[in-house]
Amino acid sequence: MDVSEIIKQEYSEEFDQLRKNRVAVSYYKYGPAKANFGGHLVNALQSAEIRKRKYEQTGNTEYLLDAANYLMFEYMYPASEKAHFKATDSNGSAGKSGISINEIKNYDEV
C-alpha cells in the first residue's frame, strides 16, 4: 500500500479542518497564539489536559480538537526549556497503553 492510500485510511482530514476552524475563532476570541503561548500567558499542556479530562467526562469529541490545538501550540511555542525535536526509533519510543494488532499477530506466530 502506498503512502497516499495509508493516509486516506489512517488519517482524518476532517479532524484537521475542524481544528483549523477553532484556531481561527480563537484568534478573534483570545488573541494571537504567539502572544498567548509564546508569551507564556496560557499553559498549553495544562489546557490540553483539562480538555482531555472534559472529553472523558462528556464524550464530546470537540474537546479532543481543542486538546490537539493546545498540544500544537506547545510545539510551536514551547514552555519547556528542554523542548526539541528528535525523531526516535522503537528504542526511543515513549510506549503506549495496550497491545497493537501487529504485536498480537507476531505473538501468535511465535
Residue 110 pLDDT > 60: no
Q: Which set of grid coordinates corresponds to residue 105?
A: 499477530
Residue 92 lies in a domain: no
Residue 107 pLDDT > 90: no
Question: pLDDT per residue over 58-96, tens digit each?
Answer: 999 999 999 999 999 999 999 999 999 999 998 888 888
Residue 93 lies in a domain: no
pLDDT at 95: 85
Residue 47 lies in a domain: yes
Residue 91 lies in a domain: no
pLDDT at 109: 66
Our count of domains for the chain comes to: 1
Question: pLDDT per residue over 19-63, tens digit each?
Answer: 999 999 999 999 999 999 999 999 999 999 999 999 999 999 999
Nearest to 74 by CA among 49, 54, 44, 99: 44
Q: What is the DSSP letter of 15?
A: H
Q: Can you give the residue range of the structural domain that contains 26?
A: 10-80
Distance CA 67, CA 34 (A): 17
Residue 3 lies in a domain: no
Residue 108 lies in a domain: no
Residue 95 lies in a domain: no
